[in-house]
């Protein structure tokens, strides 16, 4: 069996839009993904349906997989001939231990590739409105790990204090030491400092001070990691260049209940500055289409597609069976905008209004009293429960959105109803609202077109 290749991919600092094009391509090709705690779990939605996902999450004093286990897993999966992605937060080469893992692969003769990512030491300050270099304030810039094997940062403080701007990674616990050492080695006591927690995410938090005051402020605010500590006069630029925190939904953390179909609405919410968690996570499993569908294809007067995925699987089956699409005499309908786009991209005109006559419904779930073409099944991802627990531990979700009736059934089948009852529940139509109430969950109906304005007012 040929040996597989391991790709070390930088996932970026949190905002899923900050992964590189090449990194995303490698992620989509993976048979196995080993991912860290600070990787945005929403990125896993880009993997193939049967991709194996292994959580390697690390907390400061607790490891799901220890480093030697991660090394062994990379070697074992590659020797099985699989394409492996080691998905790391930020950039693999900036405090990502990629050197240790790559050396282990080299020892076993396993090919690998390193795909750089955007590191949080640069991205988090930018999302706080601060460039790390500036012609007037900062000509030099240093990245420093503020934790590791030793209890204190292992740095040359005298040399570091000469830098204009310094970004400390995970430095909150050692903040008093950092400030004392920089002051002792020549930094001014009024040097600006900012702490940026969950940088680039809608839950981003900041705390400003100086080398003299920031440690006490952080203690009083119970400020914690994951955070970047940025030191330097360039921090003062934030007063005029703070852009991200001015977005209409900044600070909103939203659970968008997923029914397994595509949604662009999550991207719309993220573009307004919100953190959006799409749960549960689903995978699509292809089903063999019943033969009678093909033999009766010309007899249908209407064909209704329930999702873009149903369009893809249906026409892929036609190609496989070598059936000419011109045998379709029916009018085509779409129950979702994504299904309509998928049909139009294939050159079909999509009808509006109520369909009549002999109808075939194409999708992933049979409905009583309708002739149904089952193209695929929607199954919950194995990692869904783990990601659900991470969301509850690390985020402060106050709003839950049910876009469809199916999303109500699927989320409430796996979630804690008591947790939901403490949140604001929103939906887009009366039918979805009534279904939620049958589960004992009170939902408020908001028109989709006005939802962002509503959330902005509630911020």
Pick the CATH number of 253-281+381-458 from 3.40.50.10090, 3.40.50.620, 3.40.190.10, 1.10.240.10: 3.40.50.10090
Phi and psi at 105, nearest 5°, equal: -65, -45
Distance CA 201, CA 394 (A): 12
SS3 content of the chain, % helix, strand, coil (to 5): 35, 25, 40
Query: Residue 324's CB: how many other CB atoms inside 10 A?
Result: 8
Confidence of residue 236 (pLDDT cuts 50, 70, 90): very high
The count of C-alpha atoms lying within 13 angstroms of the C-alpha of 171, restricted to the half-sphere facing its C-beta, is 27
Provide the CATH topology of domain 284-379: Rossmann fold (3.40.50)
Per CATH, the number for 122-246 is: 3.30.950.10
3-state secondary structure 9-56: EECECCCHHHCCHHHHHHHHHCCEEEECCCCCHHHHHHCCCCCEEEEC
Q: Which active-site residues does the annotation give?
A: 36, 58, 170
What pLDDT, in 10s, does the model give residues 23-71?
A: 999 999 999 999 998 899 889 888 987 899 998 875 555 556 788 999 9
Please report the pLDDT score of residue 63 as a whole number.
56
Task: Say if CB 238 and CB 194 are below 8 A apart.
Answer: yes
Please report the pLDDT score of residue 287 as a whole number.
84
Per CATH, the number for 6-118 is: 3.40.1010.10
Confidence of residue 367 (pLDDT cuts 50, 70, 90): low
Query: Residue 427's CB: how many other CB atoms inside 10 A?
Result: 26
What pLDDT, in 10s, does the model give residues 62-79?
A: 556 788 999 999 999 999
Please report the pLDDT score of residue 394 as a whole number.
86
Query: Residue 294's CB: how many other CB atoms inside 10 A?
Result: 15
3-state secondary structure 164-204: CEEEEECCCCCHHHHHHHHHHCCCCCCCEEEEEECCCCCCC
Task: Say if CB 373 and CB 362 are below 8 A apart.
Answer: yes
What pLDDT, in 10s, does the model give residues 165-193?
A: 999 999 899 999 999 999 999 999 999 99
Please state the length of the chain. Answer: 459
Please report the pLDDT score of residue 265 as a whole number.
87
Poorest-pLDDT segment among 86-90, 261-265, 447-451: 261-265
What pLDDT, in 10s, does the model give residues 390-413?
A: 888 888 999 999 988 888 888 887
Q: What is the pTM of this model?
A: 0.83
Confidence of residue 205 (pLDDT cuts 50, 70, 90): very high
Distance CA 301, CA 182 (A): 77
Domains 122-246 and 253-281+381-458 share a fold: no
Q: Would you call 222 exposed, middle or buried from its count of C-beta atoms within 10 A (0-12, 13-18, 19+)? A: exposed
Q: Which of 178, 88, 189, 102 is nearest to 142 (CA)?
A: 178
Distance CA 134, CA 122 (A): 13
Domain residues of the chain, as ranges? 6-118, 122-246, 253-281+381-458, 284-379
């Amino acid at each position: 069996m040929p040996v597989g290749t391991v790709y070390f991919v930088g996932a970026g600092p949190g905002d899923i839009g900050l992964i590189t094009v090449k990194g995303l391509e490698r992620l989509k090709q993976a048979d196995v993904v080993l991912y860290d705690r600070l990787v945005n779990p929403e990125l896993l939605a880009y993997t193939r349906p049967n991709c194996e996902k292994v959580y390697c999450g690390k907390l400061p004093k607790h490891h799901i997989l220890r480093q030697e286990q991660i090394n062994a897993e990379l070697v074992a999966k590659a020797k099985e001939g699989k394409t492996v992605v080691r998905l790391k937060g930020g950039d693999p080469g900036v405090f990502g231990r990629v050197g240790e893992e790559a050396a282990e692969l080299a020892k076993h003769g396993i090919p690998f590739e390193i795909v750089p990512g955007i590191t949080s030491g640069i991205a988090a300050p930018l999302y706080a409105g601060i460039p790390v270099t500036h012609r007037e304030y900062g000509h030099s810039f240093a990245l420093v790990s503020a934790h590791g094997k030793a209890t204190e940062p292992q740095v040359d403080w005298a040399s570091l204090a000469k830098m204009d701007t310094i970004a400390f990674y995970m430095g909150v616990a050692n903040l008093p030491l950092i400030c004392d050492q920089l002051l002792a080695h020549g930094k001014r006591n009024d040097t600006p400092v900012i702490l940026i927690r969950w940088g680039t995410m809608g839950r981003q938090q900041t705390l400003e001070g100086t080398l003299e005051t920031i440690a006490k402020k952080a203690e009083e605010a119970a400020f914690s990691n994951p955070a970047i500590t940025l030191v330097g006069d360039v921090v003062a630029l934030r007063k005029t260049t703070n852009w991200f925190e001015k977005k209409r939904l900044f600070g909103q953390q939203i659970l968008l209940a997923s029914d397994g179909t595509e949604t662009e609405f999550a991207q719309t919410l993220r573009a307004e500055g919100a953190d959006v968690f799409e749960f549960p996570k689903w995978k699509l499993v292809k089903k063999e289409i019943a033969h009678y569908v093909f033999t009766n294809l010309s007899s249908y007067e209407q064909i209704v597609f329930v999702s873009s995925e149903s369009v893809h699987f249906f026409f892929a089956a036609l190609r496989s069976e070598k059936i000419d699409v011109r045998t379709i005499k029916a009018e085509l309908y779409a129950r979702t905008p994504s299904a309509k786009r998928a049909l139009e991209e294939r050159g079909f005109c999509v009808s509006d209004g109520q369909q009549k006559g002999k109808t075939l419904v194409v999708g992933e779930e049979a409905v009583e009293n309708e002739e149904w073409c089952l193209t695929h099944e929607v199954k919950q991802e194995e990692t869904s429960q783990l990601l659900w627990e991470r969301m509850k531990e690390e985020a402060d979700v106050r709003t839950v959105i049910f876009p469809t009736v199916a999303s109500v059934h699927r989320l409430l089948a796996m979630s804690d109803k008591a947790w939901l009852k403490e949140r604001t529940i929103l939906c887009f139509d009366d039918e979805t609202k009534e279904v939620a109430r049958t589960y004992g969950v009170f939902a408020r109906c908001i028109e989709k077109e006005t939802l962002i304005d509503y959330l902005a007012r509630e911020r």
